[in-house]
């Protein structure tokens, strides 16, 4: 399915989605947090889209907002898609998990939680993956201050 046909199909499900024309081979969608899980479920389960492969899940700090970028592929239809979700709540960023849709998301979401502090509702085991429980802060946020390296300099 070409990007235009894919966009038209997805708009028929959720008309208020934002599509961006980035210089990319991928169709890019920005979804409001409250519609993330419904969209992702539809993208995987609909036979016309069948996005059965989540090949990348990345935490992002856009300055004013925190969020996640998902790269999806349909291994049967051979089309790809980028889905972005953002929250401006930097103090308590919460998004829905997608690990019930794509099992591989479980560890990726733990990594995003560890380095960005984004919590994923309904995640089965949301805890730090790389950093110790005593670690203070989220080192991949733009506002993170590394106290240890500041003292060494």
pLDDT in tens, 72-130: 999 999 999 999 999 999 999 999 999 999 999 999 999 999 999 999 999 999 999 99
Nearest to 81 by CA among 113, 47, 39: 39
CB of 36 closer than 8 Å to CB of 20: no
pLDDT tens digit sequence for 55-67: 999 999 999 999 9
Q: What is the pTM of this model?
A: 0.92
- Report residue 38's pLDDT band, with 50, 70 and 90 as the boundaries: very high
Coil vs helix vs strand at 35? helix
Domain, as residue range, for 93: 3-152
Strands 66-73 and 80-87: antiparallel
**What is the domain-level CATH number for residue 81?**
3.30.460.80
**Percent helix, strand and coil across the chain, each to the nearest 5:** 25, 25, 45
**How many domains does the chain divide into?**
1
């Amino acid at each position: 399915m070409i990007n235009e046909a894919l966009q038209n199909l997805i708009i028929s499900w959720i008309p208020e989605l934002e599509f961006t024309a980035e210089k990319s081979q991928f169709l890019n969608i920005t979804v409001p947090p409250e519609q993330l899980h419904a969209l992702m479920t539809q993208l995987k389960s609909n036979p016309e889209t069948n996005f059965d492969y989540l090949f990348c899940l990345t935490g992002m700090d856009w300055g004013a907002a925190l969020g996640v970028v998902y790269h999806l592929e349909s291994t049967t239809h051979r089309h790809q898609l980028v889905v972005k979700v953002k929250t401006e709540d930097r103090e308590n960023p919460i998004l829905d998990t997608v690990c019930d849709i794509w099992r591989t998301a479980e560890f990726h979401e733990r990594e995003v939680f560890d380095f960005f502090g984004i919590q994923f509702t309904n995640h089965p085991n949301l805890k730090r993956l790389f950093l110790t429980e005593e670690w203070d802060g989220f080192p991949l946020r733009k506002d993170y201050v590394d106290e240890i390296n500041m003292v060494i300099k």
